[in-house]
Amino acid sequence: MKKYVYLFDETKASDETVILLGNKGAQLAEMTSIGLPVPPGFTITTEACNEFYKNDKNWPGNLKEQVQEQLAKVEKKMGKKFGDSENPLLFSVRSGSYVSMPGMMDTVLNLGLNDQTVKGLAKQSGNERGAYDSYRRFLQMFGDVVLGVEHSKFEGALSTLKETRGVEFDTDLSADDLKELIETYKEIIKKETGDFPNSPEEQLELSINAVFESWNTDRAVSYRRINSLRSDAGTGVNVQVMVFGNFGNDCGTGVGFTRNPATGKKEHYGEYLINAQGEDVVAGLRTPQPIDTLKKVMPEAYEELVKIYDKLEKHYKDMQDFEFTIEKEKLYMLQTRKGKRTAPAALKIAVDMFNEGLIDKKTAVMRIDPNSLNQLLHKRLDTIAKEKMIEEGALLAKGLPASPGAAVGTVVFTAEKAVELAEKGDKVVLVRMETSPEDIEGMHVAQGILTARGGMTSHAAVVARGMGTCCVAGCADISVNEEEGFFKAGGITIKEGEYITLDGSTGEVMKGQIPTVEPDISGDFGKLMSWADEFRKLSVKTNADTPKDAQKAKDFGAEGIGLCRTEHMFFEGDRIKAVREMILAKTEEGRHKALAKLEPYQQEDFEGLFRVMDGLPVIIRLLDPPLHEFLPKEAEDIEALSKEMEISVQEIKDLIEDLHEFNPMLGFRGCRLGVQYPEINAMQTRAILKAAIKVKGEGKNPMPWIEIPLVGHVKEVELIKGIIEKEAEMLGAKGKIKYKIGTMIEVPRAAITADEIADKVEFMSFGTNDLTQMGCGFSRDDSGKFLKKYVEYGIYEKDPFQSIDQEGIGKLMKICIEHSRKKNPKIHIGICGEHGGEPESVKFCHKSGLNEVSCSPFRVPIARLAAAQAAIEDKK
Amino acid sequence: MKKYVYLFDETKASDETVILLGNKGAQLAEMTSIGLPVPPGFTITTEACNEFYKNDKNWPGNLKEQVQEQLAKVEKKMGKKFGDSENPLLFSVRSGSYVSMPGMMDTVLNLGLNDQTVKGLAKQSGNERGAYDSYRRFLQMFGDVVLGVEHSKFEGALSTLKETRGVEFDTDLSADDLKELIETYKEIIKKETGDFPNSPEEQLELSINAVFESWNTDRAVSYRRINSLRSDAGTGVNVQVMVFGNFGNDCGTGVGFTRNPATGKKEHYGEYLINAQGEDVVAGLRTPQPIDTLKKVMPEAYEELVKIYDKLEKHYKDMQDFEFTIEKEKLYMLQTRKGKRTAPAALKIAVDMFNEGLIDKKTAVMRIDPNSLNQLLHKRLDTIAKEKMIEEGALLAKGLPASPGAAVGTVVFTAEKAVELAEKGDKVVLVRMETSPEDIEGMHVAQGILTARGGMTSHAAVVARGMGTCCVAGCADISVNEEEGFFKAGGITIKEGEYITLDGSTGEVMKGQIPTVEPDISGDFGKLMSWADEFRKLSVKTNADTPKDAQKAKDFGAEGIGLCRTEHMFFEGDRIKAVREMILAKTEEGRHKALAKLEPYQQEDFEGLFRVMDGLPVIIRLLDPPLHEFLPKEAEDIEALSKEMEISVQEIKDLIEDLHEFNPMLGFRGCRLGVQYPEINAMQTRAILKAAIKVKGEGKNPMPWIEIPLVGHVKEVELIKGIIEKEAEMLGAKGKIKYKIGTMIEVPRAAITADEIADKVEFMSFGTNDLTQMGCGFSRDDSGKFLKKYVEYGIYEKDPFQSIDQEGIGKLMKICIEHSRKKNPKIHIGICGEHGGEPESVKFCHKSGLNEVSCSPFRVPIARLAAAQAAIEDKK
């Protein structure tokens, strides 16, 4: 017969027992094994739970006999009997799966009480009030959890009684009061579901069933889906001897953390309630006391607790979060698990524990969630102030957390207004339906950006992350009226000039001003990152278009530029005029003239980048976006352009109409521009190579890598490469400048035919945004609405624009990598989409054998850490 | 030493010699070998030409010696000597590659003449005038072709002389006139390039070089690129003894076809000129005579010619196009090749030749270009009338030949107007910027459709082909003003009500009315198609949405429906109201109510299809297009809808705004609709299965195959399949109706992960339009502008929307097919994109192991024939 029930003292915690018994059960066994004071008990396995479901909700095999057998052993150990009216043994019955699902599943305490045993408990403990308090608690919890009586019915009866007696707290009720309440409770139960089961055996069986069934409640199922947890794991059931924190003022219950979970400081952190059971802490009616006050109240128990803090850390070598109960000054441990912590705390704990010799560098590096670094690098909202203001109704809407950080400012609806007010020193938040490249200057000066449309990789999101500016995107809950200067969220209207606050890490939009906290990148941060660099294999570069961004990224550890989008340079100042002149030109000659104006600007930009990235590769992508992005949209702008260029308004309108595309994403852009207008790519090549030659003349070492965008066919590469080589030849750059020519891989066809392309180029870079758009067939700008539901339904485990869709797009990448390396073993392959800064994607890139990832400056540390973790995991 | 020069009588025609000698040379050898009267000569190989290029334009190896050696043999055979002033031997030097490139490369006739040899020729032939005529022809041709003197200079001198002499034709000039002209020619040459080379050896060497070089002139290179011919093939050089058609009235030159190339009728077809050389036929100054008049003029030569007609056909077993010259009543053959023919002729010739026992069925089937069937199935313009009207300036513009056929009618600019006028009996041509599903009724009643935008697979093109209506799409040369009711083409304005004519097979748009010819599907057509069906392995189905189209396709041989687009049914009459009600509904209940109205309509539609396709599979695709396609666009329509639905205009506008997408192609459509609104797919399933049950009750055998569109992830399939199965269960259709569930493969991710999907479905169908759009990353609506250039540059060999991009998208398909069959060997795989009716694509589908292709009704015969050819080629 399969073993379904394990005593706490017959096993230990291990990867297997955590799965078999659930984490709570495994840790109860572990604590028992290292001599901590754990009340005895046993765990029913998760296998039993799974078979219960397979078995039409019947207990499998001889589970019943095994429970009775182990229960008898516990009775023997305790010298008490379950259901005995003189010396009754009581139990808690608690759920516990392989990972904690807080509050999702069920618990029954004080099990085994009835009108007889309660008397035995009262007599044996000498505490009648405590006994009846336990009984009423049991009725309430069993009634709710097992019998399905509405919780509020019991709470109502309790409140009524307290009111009648004129007392504030439960603890003020006398034993007689409680007896009366118990009768009321029994009536409620009878009315709702029939007689309360007096038999402790029946109580136990029903409670175990209830815990089993709580594995598959709607909320538990949703929780697992949302958190990507295994739905076939099942829950263990922990049946443990009750200890009582509610038997007087020498009793209590509490929670501890072995270090401060908010700051990471090594201190005895925790709180407790005198004369209470665990649920009272949750209920929040009484305020728990900080742990060090226990020293005075119960010095002996406190002494033991302090030893336990130490013992837990030495044993688990990580910060622990534990629950305890004190019964008549005697301390009992009821649970321990790895403690949740803030990002700053995680960093401090990892570094401190290494310094204390508790863990090695690898472990320290593995301890930090790369995503959490975001919190460390950006300004953030004061947590307490934010909570308070949200309680007071400040929350207006919730969008996508598109770029982390916090922003407080007055609302503006146009980039022009943003610039105007920022110049006066105002702090503004730019609110737009969606942003376009024309808004770039306004975005630069804004504290934060809020858009009603667009996903995590929309223009607003990508640009904001690049600039390190807070952004909430795709906030479908608001409707923006840019013309009249207001937006609506729910019933509330926010006009231009009113203050709002954005939380870019959560997507929350709030009315008013919430205080912020500046980032504090302490020495610990640098230390941990240097450890990470010791392990990682992937090179980490940055996506940057300006020397300023490049410098920032270099400070964050970037080893070069993995993507410079030349078009971002096209919008500044006078350049846009020349760009428009080029687009409006009807002849090649006209285009040449306009391009000649642009060339010195471009060259200057590249010089700046090469100076910052001295000795490091700078990947420069040739012009990529559709030309219509550079033309004005509003009537007045068109009119202005008409006057400036001396071209009729109609002609400009005709051209705009002509350039209009049904699906611009799949339109006339990328290298298609270069195929049609080779002179554009020729000018860009000249600007790049002239800049490199100049910077080299300054004694520096420029390394331009020229990148051809949106390639789908090897012949496109050959054609554009020809243009580049020709210019390089004419400038005498060959042999003088270490330039390379490469291609983006973002069109599925390019990935599929990579073997043809691989020996024509020296490097490739996956543009995973576009590869995802085309490969999965959804536009990043439009998919926000339905992708949410897709992730909710688990069709995609994660938003494929946030984390690489490894089973689909990843497969396409692997085909590309494999075929490319076969053809050209020396080829350098990287990724420069937004995924380059997302930990799971970075790990996938490591596993797939890429050479580099590139991401926005603020994500560089995240990528470095994730790359290190991937390398460490790889070695395991 | 490699052999570079072959005498005509030392080899024959074969696949190898056609490549080595060029087709002309190989056929001269072949004709010699079967005893036809071919003047002796030799061919310099294409290899020599290629080595000439590798060798910096120098003759390779001992080519010079080989030429001299073979020339000596010819001299011996003829008893004349090259360059001899008494009895000179003259040559023609002609190019010829492995396929005919008419007029692209160079020829020199009468080579070997100078001031001495011309006298010998005059004496020996006894025809002084003929000799000097040959000499002046030689100077003219050599001067132009070899020395690069402008042709018009010689023509000018000739015209001047004719004017001075007051004669009309060259033949009216006397020997003395010609001598004078020769002096003028020599002066022209001297002035332009220096002295004329008198040495016949030098003349020969220079002429051979000129032929070699003519292989790589710009026009030849373009011609090869446009016609996808090998650029590394090289040209052969044919050096052949001259025979003279210009030595008097017992001489002549002509061209023959062994059957009538226009009708296919077996008759002696051809024409000739008395006292002329070949170039005179081309020049067109004199009108050639029909071949049968030769009987009276030169009965002997005629007798021989008639025998040759017969001999050529018996030998080549195909209709031949040949050139001949008669010198003093003696007939000489100068060239033969497979004759070009019209589609009706090709059909008649293939069937007749089978009946005559000349060829077998396979050969007959292989003889027909599947694309040419288009001509047989549609109304077409009267060729002569069209030519005449174009000469008179009727051609307005040229767009894409989107749907074959011809259309003559008055111009209208809205679908409503089209319907209004058609009801009155008017014939109209609908001209639109682009069409949308709302235009469907107007498109139905129009004679033809003309759009300014959109490619070969734009809405207009796809729908028109489906209906068999003539369509010219993407006609960028016109600008349409729909509101004011006119369009402009070049300087001409065409207003509503004016007549235009469209040629859907060429894309030409013409002013006025051109007479048309009705299609004539004779018995030969049916016979050949039935032969094709004996060979083909692919099943051929049709894309049809209405019983009428389905019936038409069945008449054309369709074996079922491969794609029924349910949404096309949504626009008719009252249905669109219910569709809009559904979209505007805010609750599931509201949607249910609207869907309940639609269900009976849909059921009725499906019943009709099942009745027509009794016993044949009908693949029905669930709702696919984005919902915004069903909403009105114009203000007045929105207002009307607002009144009808009792919803504010603003609310409708908001919804339209909300549904607006940046890239609708990659938006909220396909199965994504079903994931969000399962009730839509549920309704469609009910309509399909209820229809099947009803039609089964009528004693018929309905076979619905339900298809899930735009799948990217296996979980989408599972989800939608669940909806279908649930409805099937509720209707009791399981086991009763032979329904199948399958999926479209049009998202690259689906192709890549097909192994996961394959065992969840019973069939798959490639939507190669969308697969190409997403796989290559260009939208079919927008790519027209740049794809033209791409094809021109040879980046893509053919427009990938017209013919499957086999190296890219084809690779994706192969991955899908291979993985799917491995997982589910019984899976049925087809293709239903527009490519399903394109011969090269059909052949690719056969080779890739697909089970079926599906195409619009008018393309069914094309697909049947292409499938047969693929199967025949496969066996070879």
| DSSP line for A396-413 | EEE-EEEE-SEEEEEEES
User: How many H-runs (helices) and E-runs (strands) does chain A carry?
Assistant: 35, 33
Q: Do B747 and A811 touch (CB under 8 A)?
A: no
Alpha helices in A227-284 (DSSP H): 278-283
Residue B620 has pLDDT above 70, yes or no: yes
Chain centre distance of CA A673: 38
When pLDDT is cut at 50, 70 and 90, the band that residue B100 belongs to is: confident
pLDDT of residue B818: 97
Which residue type does B242 have?
Answer: M
Residue A366 has pLDDT above 70, yes or no: yes
Q: Do B749 and A775 touch (CB under 8 A)?
A: yes
| DSSP-based three-state secondary structure for B690 | helix
Q: Calculate ∠ Cα B422-B427-B432, nearest 5°.
A: 85
Q: Which helix (H) or strand (E) holds B872?
A: helix B860-875
When pLDDT is cut at 50, 70 and 90, the band that residue B282 belongs to is: low
When pLDDT is cut at 50, 70 and 90, the band that residue B657 belongs to is: confident
Q: How far is B777 from chain A (nearest CA, A)?
A: 5
pLDDT of residue A513: 95
Asked if B862 and B371 count as a contact pair (C-beta separation under 8 A), the reply is: yes
pLDDT of residue A541: 98
Q: Where are the beta strands (DSSP E) in A689-768?
A: 703-708, 740-745, 763-766
Which of A662, A675, A777 is the closest to B774 by Cβ?
Answer: A777
Q: Do B782 and A667 touch (CB under 8 A)?
A: yes
- Average pLDDT of B740-754? 98
Residue among A633, A662, A760 with most chain B CBs within 10 A, to mutate = A662
Asked if A167 and A122 count as a contact pair (C-beta separation under 8 A), the reply is: no
- Average pLDDT of B738-745? 97
pLDDT of residue A234: 94
Reading the block at residue A590, the tokens are: 């006209």
By DSSP bridging, strand A406-412 and strand A499-503 are antiparallel
- The predicted model scores a pTM of 0.81
CA-wise closest residue to B466 among B568, B379, B570: B568
Q: Do A786 and B748 touch (CB under 8 A)?
A: no
When pLDDT is cut at 50, 70 and 90, the band that residue B520 belongs to is: low
Q: Do A775 and B716 touch (CB under 8 A)?
A: no
Q: Give the nearest chain B residue to A663 (CA atoms).
A: B663
Residue B517 has pLDDT above 90, yes or no: no
pLDDT of residue A228: 74
Distances (CA, A) of B542 to A151, B58, B526, B629, B747: 63, 58, 18, 24, 22
Residue B286 CB-density burial (10 A; 0-12 exposed, 13-18 middle, 19+ buried): middle
CB count in 10 Å sphere of residue A838: 27
Residue B383 has pLDDT above 90, yes or no: no
Q: Do B713 and A770 touch (CB under 8 A)?
A: no
Asked if A466 and A834 count as a contact pair (C-beta separation under 8 A), the reply is: no
In whole angstroms, what is the distance from residue A306 CA to residue A178 CA?
35
Q: Calculate ∠ Cα B639-B645-B649, nearest 5°.
A: 35
When pLDDT is cut at 50, 70 and 90, the band that residue B751 belongs to is: very high
Residue B672 has pLDDT above 80, yes or no: yes
How would you write B328-390 as a 3-class SS string?
CCEEEEEEEEECCCCHHHHHHHHHHHHHCCCCCHHHHHHCCCHHHHHHHHCCEECHHHHHHHH
Q: Do B778 and A664 touch (CB under 8 A)?
A: no
Which of B664, B712, B770 is the closest to A776 by Cβ?
Answer: B712
Residue among A774, A805, A813 with most chain B CBs within 10 A, to mutate = A774
- Average pLDDT of B105-118? 94
By DSSP bridging, strand A41-44 and strand A5-7 are antiparallel
Residue B785 has pLDDT above 90, yes or no: no
Q: Do B808 and A713 touch (CB under 8 A)?
A: yes
Asked if A419 and A426 count as a contact pair (C-beta separation under 8 A), the reply is: no
- Average pLDDT of A547-570? 92
Asked if B859 and B535 count as a contact pair (C-beta separation under 8 A), the reply is: no
- Average pLDDT of B520-542? 91
When pLDDT is cut at 50, 70 and 90, the band that residue A811 belongs to is: very high
Q: Give the nearest chain A residue to B753 (CA atoms).
A: A808
- Average pLDDT of B672-691? 96
Q: How far does chain A reach from its first CA to its final CA, in angstroms?
A: 36
Q: How far is A709 from chain B (nearest CA, A)?
A: 12
When pLDDT is cut at 50, 70 and 90, the band that residue A672 belongs to is: very high
Residue A334 CB-density burial (10 A; 0-12 exposed, 13-18 middle, 19+ buried): buried
Which of B666, B746, B808 is the closest to A749 by Cβ?
Answer: B808
Per cent of chain B over pLDDT 70 is 99
Q: How far is B581 from chain A (nearest CA, A)?
A: 21
Residue B455 has pLDDT above 80, yes or no: no
- Average pLDDT of A69-87? 95
Compute the 3-state secondary structure of chain A and give helix, strand, coil in percent, each to the nearest 5.
50, 15, 35
Chain A residues in contact with B749 (beta carbon < 8 A): 775-777, 805, 808-809, 812
In whole angstroms, what is the distance from residue B160 CA to residue A224 CA?
97
In whole angstroms, what is the distance from residue A623 CA to residue A607 CA?
18
- Average pLDDT of A637-660? 88
pLDDT of residue A372: 85
| Lowest model confidence (mean pLDDT) among A133-147, B373-387, B474-488, B806-820 | B373-387
pLDDT digits (tens, 9 = 90+) for A249-270: 999 999 999 999 888 999 999 9
Q: ipTM of the assembly? A: 0.81
In whole angstroms, what is the distance from residue A395 CA to residue A397 CA?
6
Q: How far is B760 from chain A (nearest CA, A)?
A: 15
Q: How many cross-chain Cβ pairs, A to B, lie less than 8 Å apart?
A: 173
pLDDT of residue A227: 75
| DSSP-based three-state secondary structure for B565 | strand
Tokens 């600039």, located at residue: A467
In whole angstroms, what is the distance from residue B876 CA to residue B545 CA?
38
Could you write out the DSSP letters of every residue in A282-327?
A: HHTSSPPEEGGGHHHH-HHHHHHHHHHHHHHHHHHSS-EEEEEEEE
- Average predicted confidence (pLDDT) for chain A: 92
Which of B774, B785, B795 is the closest to A715 by Cβ?
Answer: B795
pLDDT digits (tens, 9 = 90+) for A462-480: 788 777 789 999 898 899 9
| Lowest model confidence (mean pLDDT) among A831-840, B202-211, B361-370 | A831-840
Chain B residues in contact with A782 (beta carbon < 8 A): 661-664, 666-668
- The catalytic residues of B are 459, 832
Chain B residues in contact with A752 (beta carbon < 8 A): 775, 808, 811-812, 815
When pLDDT is cut at 50, 70 and 90, the band that residue A282 belongs to is: low
By DSSP bridging, strand B478-481 and strand B486-489 are antiparallel
- The catalytic residues of A are 459, 832
- Average pLDDT of A492-518? 93
pLDDT of residue A646: 87
Residues facing B492 on adjacent strands: B489
